[in-house]
Amino acid sequence: MLEQLPVLSLLIWLPLLSGILVLLSPGDKMLVWSQRFGVVVSLAVLALSVWLLAAFDTTTAEFQFVERGDWIPSLNIGYELGVDGIALPLVVLTGLINLLVLFGSTHSIKFRQTQFVAAVLLLTGAMNGVFLAQDSILFYVFWEAMLIPMFLMIGIWGGPNRIYATIKFFLYTFFGSIFMLVALIYMGRETGDFSIQAMQGMPLSGTEQSWIFWAFLLAFAVKIPMVPVHTWLPDAHVEAPTGGSVILAAIMLKMGGYGFLRFSLPITPDAAGAYANLIIVLSLIAIVYIGFVALAQKDMKKLIAYSSIAHMGFVTLGTFIILKLINMDAQSMAVQGAMVQMVSHGLVSGALFFCIGVLYDRLHTRNISDYGGVVNSMPVFATLLMLFIFANAGLPGTSGFVGEFFVIISSFQADWRIALFAGLTLVLGAAYSLWFYKRVIFGKAANDKIERLDDINIRERSVLIILALLVIALGVYPQFLINIMQPSIEQLIQLTSSSKLGG
Amino acid sequence: MTHNLIHLLPEIFLLTAACIILLIDVFSKDLDRNLTYRLSQLALLATAVICMVQFPDVQYHLYDRHFILDPMAGIIKISVILLAMLALLFARPYILPRRILRGEYYLLHLFAVLGMMVMVSGGSLLTLYLGLELLSLSLYALVAMQRHAYQSAEAAVKYFVMGAIASGFLLYGMSLVYGVTQAIHLTDIAAYIADNEASLTLRFGLVFIVVAIAFKFGAVPFQMWVPDVYDGAPTSTTAFLSSAPKVAAFGLAVRIFGYGFIGTLIDWQGLLIILACLSMLVGNIVALAQDNIKRLLAYSAIAHIGYFLLGLLTGTAEGFAASFFYILAYAIMSLGGFGCLIYLGKGIEDVKNIEQLKGLGRKNPWGGLLISVLFLSMAGLPPFVGFWAKLEVFLAVLNSGFVWLAIFAAIMSIIGLFYYLKVVKVIFFDDPEKEQKIVAARGLRLGLGLTSLSVVALGLFPAKLLELCEQAFQYL
């Protein structure tokens, strides 16, 4: 039955239209119903994306469930949707995380709750749109439109310094992406077609490629974020409400990585090769230097935010190391690592921000020094947090290990020094994660409030347990995910390895 | 020689209607001038209908080639009339409590629209000038409408003096052009330029014409009047001033540059590039420092003219289409923006400061959402119409090979985003100072609803309008 439906369109428009519907509903009088409605809609979105996962053909790199329609025929901009092995895991992740946010974190929002539900639904639709769009302008429309609900989310429900943080977030992201728009228009004009596949196939001279590469780099480096344009992230995370932080860390950051894989590598392979060293060095700086920065944080959310930047360093490293490799197996291992790292980080950082939200809801402080001895009053919570902390540190058996391990192994084949620096994460990640855990969870209770804390309730528990199961599942059997991605990754590597010069 | 006047029907109808309404208004005893208002709207609507019925498929050069009737003229006329109707919708609840001379207000709108219609159909320098002057004189009077307000009078004098100087420049330039080419018809001028080398005197005349057009658009460095007039004029006049006349002035610019002087493209292109860059730079940067929302919108108007010129300066049909789309989108957004200010005014007190919008999103979520949509659209964010406008002009300049201009415009739009966000921030993130319910007239709500709806609808489905814009310039 589902075969006949335009599933991809549903994934985008169901949440978008429901979001608008919630926005139009008569405000807080219908609060409970709008929350339930939100959960039901995101459950439906998740169900659709899981169905997509089941019906997805893992033997081909072709885009599947393709939908094509006219949008602006005079400019050859189409409404084109499709999904491949790179987009699919991220779509499922989006569905899952947004459901958990709506289910698990709306109760910590104290005012204008219906609008929060609407914002999450709108974000879901727009983010699915980013991953599913096969037309570059359609992609860009979703990419930018997504900023508006996030901007409002941080600005309305955020912490004390929220306005500074949210404007910084918006301006940084817009700064990056406007140049991408110019690059996209430039290429669309050259090919006469704005579809991403046409752009991947078009020949480009060396100069053109480096300009376009830099335009893409600005957009994606800000989003992922890479050093030195990462400074918006800690601010945005600290000020955002729990749900906003979770979405930001779990999905929005992935868009940078997705952009590198979808645009930078296949469209400008030669320029990517030329600048690979730069990106690799920046990734290593992110991994090592930001690791140290994370160690020094006093604010829990900031610590996790910096650890996110360090983890995203592995994504960029895994993505660009393939330009330094000749061996196809090592290349595909690197990209697999980057992708697994994205999915894993989505689960782990989402879970960690949930955990911080749990603590913040109870004590209303994010200072690490205000905590201590939480294990005495919240044993279940402490156990679950421990799992996520281990995953964050990259312990084998958790999802965090797989991605980092793959990337390190493949970078060994390029240059042992890269692998050496990347490997430092095992020390640093363990250091900041475990030390954080020790300070918050163990030791003497910092004050009597902590002794009187209630352990997590059934709602929080179910959210965290779902995430925990997925973290372990991905850590034990990553092959499931890799099978889905493999054909697409191979095609990507092929595109990246073939020069576009001169043709 | 006899002429068939049927092609002039919309103009003749509007003129007759305006005169009749004037007479009716003189003898009207109704202080609220309900009848005048309704008749004016009706006259505009009827004119729009006639324009639609008469919509030309090909280009006619009529009345000894003084009058051009082509798809471009048709589309611009219809859009100008619709914008004027919306502006009247906004004007009524504004001028009613303020007791601004009411009958004349509507009539001046009608005459302004007539001027614009003549202007966009102008086939010779004479018709163009006549149309422009009819428009300008009506606008001077509209700005001065609030006679007792000191600011309004100041704005009117400034506008009048500046406008008169600009008109003088235009006439002087035209006379130089006439002296060289012995022609006032655009087609003759184009033919002369095609056959002869453009002389220094001709270029000299062209520069004067460019300066005059820049004055009318308010492009830097001829922008001095814009903030003062926008701020000083009654808000409803500002709303009108910033929308329909800009579209018509675009028609004038295309007639002169595209039809008359296309042969000397390199001469005026350079001038327009300078105007565009300066407008984007000055408009965006000075807007950052504004606390007064009307002045902020005025500087943003200057910046938008900069982006708009990007399409015009390419001198291609495609570029003109991009500019047309841009100016239409801008006219809708700007009309909506000032309409929101009317909507937010309490009693006869105007909204001046951005601070006064504090907490609007909480007090009045719908009003807050409407303004935010309009401002985000002005910033060029998808999925609103402003995004497509930007995309079109970027595409146009890239097609003409000015990659650096596109990059410059991109950088400027980042600066622009900041002050639009500043307003959205005040609306949504700041706490309201005191609860006050906003009561708005039905017409105003209807108008605002229409503008924001079109901003969103055109943002999602821009294809039809883009096609229309391209069709308008097929006879270049």
Q: What's the pLDDT at B435? A: 59
* Chain A residues closer than 8 Å to B360 by CB: none
Contact state of A75 with B395 under an 8 Å Cβ cutoff: yes
Contact between chains at B398 and A141 (C-beta distance less than 8 A): no
Interface test with chain A among B370, B420, B428, by most A beta carbons within 10 Å: B428
Give the pLDDT confidence score for residue A262 in this predicted structure.
Answer: 92
The answer to whether the beta carbons of residues A284 and A313 sit under 8 Å apart is yes
Q: What is the pLDDT of residues A339-392, one digit of tens each?
A: 999 999 999 999 999 999 998 988 888 888 888 888 888 889 999 999 999 999
Let me know: does A266 contact A323? Beta carbons within 8 Å. no
Count of C-beta atoms within a 10 Å radius of residue A491:
18
- Give the number of A-B residue pairs with CB atoms closer than 8 Å: 85
User: Would you state the pLDDT for residue A444?
Assistant: 81
pLDDT at position A202 is 87
Do B382 and A141 make contact, defined as CB atoms within 8 angstroms?
A: yes
ipTM: 0.91
Q: What angle do CA B115, B117, B122 make, to 5 degrees?
A: 95
Q: How far apart are the first and last CA of chain B?
A: 28
pLDDT band at A496 (very low <50, low <70, confident <90, very high): confident
Nearest to B466 among A75, A112, A171 (CB): A75
Burial of A370 (0-12, 13-18, 19+ CB in 10 A): middle
State whether B407 and A179 contact (CB < 8 Å).
yes
Q: Please check whether residue B397 is in contact with residue B406, taking contact to mean a CB–CB distance below 8 angstroms.
A: yes
The A-side interface with B (CB below 8 A) comprises 27, 70-75, 112, 115, 137, 140-142, 144-145, 147-148, 151-152, 155-156, 162-163, 166-167, 170-171, 174-175, 178-179, 181-182, 185-186, 188-189
Q: Is the pLDDT of residue A503 over 70?
A: no
Comparing C-alpha atoms, which of A356, A343, A346, A284 is closest to residue A314? Answer: A284
The long-range contacts involving B265-274, CB below 8 angstroms and separated by at least 24 positions, are B265/B315, B267/B198, B267/B203, B267/B206, B268/B206, B268/B210, B268/B313, B269/B313, B269/B314, B269/B315, B271/B207, B271/B210, B272/B210, B272/B309, B272/B312, B272/B313, B273/B313, B273/B402, B273/B405
Model-wide pTM > 0.90: yes
Per-residue model confidence (pLDDT) at position A283: 93
What pLDDT does B1 receive?
A: 54
Nearest of B370, B451, B348 to residue B94 by alpha carbon: B348
CB contact under 8 A, B414 and A73: no
What are the structure tokens assigned to A89, written together?
Answer: 């895991």
Residues of B with CB under 8 A from a CB of A: 362, 365, 376, 381-383, 387, 391, 394-395, 398-399, 403, 406-407, 410-411, 413-414, 417-418, 421-422, 424-425, 428-429, 461-463, 466-467, 470
Span A180-236, pLDDT tens digits: 999 999 999 888 889 998 888 888 888 999 999 999 999 999 999 998 899 999 999
Residue B428 is nearest to which of A27, A70, A152, comparing CB atoms?
Answer: A152
Instruction: Verify whether the Cβ–Cβ distance A73 to B463 is below 8 Å.
Output: yes
Dist CA A449 CA A463 (whole Å): 25
pLDDT for the residue numbered A70: 87
- To test the contact with chain B by mutation, choose from A178, A189, A191 the residue with the greatest count of B C-beta atoms within 10 A, namely A178
- Calculate how close chain B gets to A73, using CA atoms only, in Å: 7
Per CB-CB distance under 8 Å, the chain A contacts of B399 are: 189
Give contacts of B425 with chain A, Cβ < 8 Å.
Answer: 155, 163, 166-167
Q: Which of B288, B366, B381 to mutate to test the interface with A (most CBs of A within 10 A)?
A: B381
Taking an 8 Å cut-off on Cβ atoms, the answer to whether B417 and A163 are in contact is: no
pLDDT at position A27 is 64
Q: Which of B183, B270, B256, B184 is nearest to B216 (CA)?
A: B256
Residue A306: band (very low, low, confident or very high) from pLDDT cuts 50, 70, 90: very high
Ranges of residues in chain B with a pLDDT under 50 are none
Which pLDDT score, from 0 to 100, does residue A435 have? 92
User: What pLDDT score does B97 carry?
Assistant: 81
